[in-house]
Amino acid sequence: MSALLFRSTNGQSPSVNLRAAFLAGQAQDRGLYLPEHFPQLTLDEIAEFAELPYREVAFRVLRKFTEGAIPDDALAAMCNQAYDFGVPLEVIERGVYLMRLDQGPTASFKDFAAQIMAQMFGLFLQEDGGQVTILTATSGDTGAAVAHAFHEIPSVRVIVLFPLAEVSERQRKLMTTVKENVRTVAIDGKFDDCQAMVKRAFTDPALQHIHLSSANSINIGRLLPQSVYYFYAASRLAQPGEPMVFSIPSGNFGDMMGCVFAREMGLPVRKIIAAVNANDSFPRYLESGVYEKISPSRNSVSNAMNVGHPSNLARLVAVYGGQMDETGKIHRSPDLTAMRRDIFSTSINDERTRTSLRDFWNKYQILLEPHGVVAWQGFLDWCAAEPIGSTPAVIVGTANPAKFPEEVEKVVGWAPDVPAAMTAGLQQPEDFDRMGPDYDQFRSYLLKAHASN
Ligand SMILES: *Cc1c(COP(=O)(O)O)cnc(C)c1O
């Protein structure tokens, strides 16, 4: 069987195999890669997942994408290595569940993709003896997950940019205490500045001799692993073939695209709820059909979701038959009717986020954090708009409350315990560089880092 190819959402660059899509991060024409077609899983195959551990479900889903590109035994070994933590599905109330994706080494769902991506990078580079510099802009959690996952992967250097004033102390420490092949750079600016600097580096002719790649959710390697947990949850919580509702706290829409991928692959989904903070460009678009990015992005308590122009919307629009370029300009309109049928989106401001966090704790004695609770409140908004009936629903919990002790304590009155997996790293000394949102300075920094090796 021939390997799956990946096309660019901008339609100018030729399609490439998984390895090339992975190592490039972004297509030459600045589009994002999407599978040319979605491999299918039958309802029987999905039903079998109910009895399997997470790493085995991951293997069976991912191999649909990796066939012909990664040998099965290598993939199985990667899944075993990556997924040595649990994926709890807690009952909130009858038929409504919390999927906790916060048990990985940096206590956010970003670990699910970063862990396996690092292994795949390692394998691909080992095959051709190459060297890669991974550039990552982070609003908090990606940087930590990527730093931990790629730490000590041979032939990979990682450079993480983060907005100094926008990340929590624990988020920062989870990145800046990882060293060796990982460098962190604090930018005196916003997440948008970090993202713009990274994007510019990718197309900078002066950096062409450095092989740059990305571990942000522009990389297709981020999205494939993020489809797995939707299958995992459905196999355990729904009857075979029964559609579910998933509510997903969204920033760059990579997590939500994982769910879209799962549905395209055959998972029955009644509704995807894309719950956002004050950065509401998507719910507005869904309502009006006119896309206007938010610039600069708005600060909020769910800081990992402070994204004014979610890059994955280009993929979403493409799945629905349209075309959006990297600036957010729509060249061909997607099927908005179908999009509205499949997806509900709502914006939850900080005040509602805090109130909801407190109410949720008081009502269920389950502690959420500022991101997961946006998904919960988004779910309530959807229920008010459309009777749920007996459809099972999953709220996606994307981070551990201990990552945001300041916010959580302000609202519920006490600070959550730090998970054991996080404590060791937090005690190491921090080390990071610092610069303004100045591209020329960043270019010199990259050139120097490259020359030093
Ligand atoms: C990154 C992140 C999100 C948003 O995920 P996207 O894929 O960017 O939409 C939500 N919650 C937490 C805790 C995150 O770290």
Q: In this predicted structure, what is the pLDDT of residue 426?
A: 78
Half-sphere exposure of 65 (CA within 13 A, CB side): 28
Report the nearest-CA residue for atom 15 of ligand 1: 141
- Counting from 1 in the atom list of ligand 1, the atom nearest the Cα of 257 is 7
Helix (H) and strand (E) counts in the chain: 19, 16
Report the nearest-CA residue for atom 1 of ligand 1: 304
Cα 364–87–158 angle (5° rounding)? 120
Q: Which residue, 163, 110, 114, 159, is CA-closest to 135?
A: 159
What is the architecture, at CATH level 2, of domain 87-108+222-412?
A: 3-Layer(aba) Sandwich (3.40)
Per the CB < 8 A criterion, the answer to whether 434 and 185 are in contact is yes
For the Cβ of 111 lying below 6 angstroms from any atom of ligand 1, the answer is no
Q: Which residue, 251, 301, 230, is CA-closest to 46?
A: 230
Per the CB < 8 A criterion, the answer to whether 147 and 178 are in contact is yes
For the Cβ of 369 lying below 6 angstroms from any atom of ligand 1, the answer is no
Our mutation pick for probing the ligand 1 site, out of 255, 276, 347, counting the most ligand atoms within 8 A of Cβ, is 255
Per-residue pLDDT 10s for the chain (453 aa) are 578 999 999 999 999 999 999 988 889 899 999 999 999 999 999 999 999 999 999 999 999 999 999 999 999 999 999 999 999 999 999 999 999 999 999 999 999 999 999 999 999 988 877 889 999 999 878 999 999 999 989 899 999 999 999 888 888 999 999 989 999 999 999 888 998 899 899 889 999 999 999 888 889 999 999 999 999 999 999 999 999 999 999 999 999 999 999 999 999 999 999 999 999 999 999 999 999 999 988 999 998 999 999 999 999 999 999 999 999 999 999 999 999 999 999 999 999 999 999 999 999 999 999 999 999 999 999 999 999 999 999 999 999 999 888 889 988 888 898 887 777 777 889 999 999 999 999 999 999 998 886
Taking residue 443's Cβ as centre, other Cβ atoms within 10 Å add up to: 16
For the Cβ of 371 lying below 6 angstroms from any atom of ligand 1, the answer is yes
Strand (E) or helix (H) holding 346: strand 343-347
Copy the structure tokens of residue 218: 């522009």
Our mutation pick for probing the ligand 1 site, out of 106, 108, 395, counting the most ligand atoms within 8 A of Cβ, is 108
- Counting from 1 in the atom list of ligand 1, the atom nearest the Cα of 217 is 7
Q: In this predicted structure, what is the pLDDT of residue 453?
A: 63
**How far, in Å, from the CA of 251 to the mean position of ligand 1?**
6
Per the CB < 8 A criterion, the answer to whether 160 and 147 are in contact is yes
Q: Give the Å distances, CA to CA, from 124 to 21, 157, 284, 342.
A: 11, 15, 40, 36
Copy the structure tokens of residue 38: 């979605």
Q: In this predicted structure, what is the pLDDT of residue 1?
A: 54
Instruction: Report the distance separating Cα 373 and Cα 338, nearest Å.
Output: 27
Instruction: Report the distance separating Cα 286 and Cα 330, nearest Å.
Output: 13
Q: Residue 2: which residues within 8 A CB-CB, separation 6 or more?
A: 68
**How far, in Å, from the CA of 110 to the mean position of ligand 1?**
7
Examine residue 296 and say whether the peptide bond preceding it is cis (omega within 30 degrees of 0): yes
Burial of 100 (0-12, 13-18, 19+ CB in 10 A): buried
Copy the structure tokens of residue 369: 């954090």
Give the domain ranges of the chain.
Answer: 87-108+222-412
**DSSP state letters, 392-424:** -EEEEE-B-GGG-HHHHHHHHSSPPPPPHHHHH
Per the CB < 8 A criterion, the answer to whether 31 and 8 are in contact is yes
Q: Residue 49: which residues within 8 A CB-CB, separation 6 or more?
A: 57, 60, 231, 232, 235, 236
Our mutation pick for probing the ligand 1 site, out of 32, 371, 374, counting the most ligand atoms within 8 A of Cβ, is 371
Q: In this predicted structure, what is the pLDDT of residue 421?
A: 72
Taking residue 123's Cβ as centre, other Cβ atoms within 10 Å add up to: 19
Strand (E) or helix (H) holding 163: strand 156-163
Our mutation pick for probing the ligand 1 site, out of 139, 247, 252, 260, counting the most ligand atoms within 8 A of Cβ, is 252
**How far, in Å, from the CA of 273 to the mean position of ligand 1?**
14
**How far, in Å, from the CA of 71 to the mean position of ligand 1?**
30
